[in-house]
Amino acid sequence: MPIRRPALVLASLLWLLVAQGARAQDEPAPPNCPVLDSLGESGVRHFDFPPLETSIYAAEYLARDGTRHPGKEGVDDIVDVVIRSHHTGCTPITLMLVVGGSDFDSRGKQFEDHVSIERVWRSGKEIKDAVEAARVQALAQGAIANIPVRVTGGGIGTRHPNIATPTTEPERRQNRWLSVRLLQVLSRSLETEGATLSASPPLDLLP
């Protein structure tokens, strides 16, 4: 089931994140490096959607200060954070977990699940494409190391709604949600002063 894959990925990476967090506390980050609590809110970007919409560019980005912005601004924020994390001396973001839900629909659970999966699939691909375009450009400029960024995730239909019993469109919109968790997962060997680069095992975007 789509809901299980992100949970399993998170569980399997937990020990890596804990170990990495301890290391990050001992070693101050260079200037302009993003420092994320990968299991907390600082590593998550939130979006919500108009009815039946699946493109993240049609969504609204919910910034951490409570303000709302066009979906593109949220994508731009993700791209900026990911690329900055790949600069020398920073801990690279190498995995993005995309999970989304849908609002209640009279056509039933199967339709709701389909919409949530399509929302994750299309939005995840749009985010992946934007990050990859910026990554390729930064690589060509010699600004970052060649460390791939993977995307995985899944839709969960009407489960885990933000509003249990919505009565207005703004409340229903909050149940058409998408979250993107940015994970700074260390690969077996990262490029440091000419060391051999070995990327994390590939994780593909799931339908």
Residue 109 lies in a domain: yes
Q: Does the structure show a pLDDT above 90 at 45?
A: yes
Residue bearing the bigger pLDDT, 10 or 111: 111
* CATH (domain of 70): 3.30.1330.60
pLDDT tens per residue across span 46-91: 999 999 899 999 999 999 899 999 999 999 999 999 999 999 999 9
The encoded tokens of residue 71 equal 């979906």
| Contact (CB, 8 A) for 206 and 154 | yes
Q: What total of structural domains would you count in the chain? A: 1
pLDDT tens per residue across span 147-199: 999 999 999 999 988 888 889 988 888 888 999 999 987 554 333 333 232 23
User: What CA–CA distances, in Å, run from 158 to 3, 81, 112, 193?
Assistant: 12, 30, 7, 48
Residue 6 lies in a domain: no
Residue 140 lies in a domain: yes
Which one, of 180, 190, 184, 118, lies nearest residue 152 by Cα? 180
Of all helices (H) and strands (E), which one includes residue 20? helix 4-26
Q: Does the structure show a pLDDT above 70 at 106?
A: yes
**Domain encompassing residue 144:** 43-183
Residue 82 lies in a domain: yes
| Contact (CB, 8 A) for 127 and 98 | yes
In angstroms, rounded to a whole number, what is the distance separating the alpha carbons of residues 75 and 123? Answer: 10
Residue 61 lies in a domain: yes
Residue 199 lies in a domain: no
Residue 121 lies in a domain: yes
Residue 130 lies in a domain: yes
Which one, of 151, 149, 144, 140, lies nearest residue 191 by Cα? 144
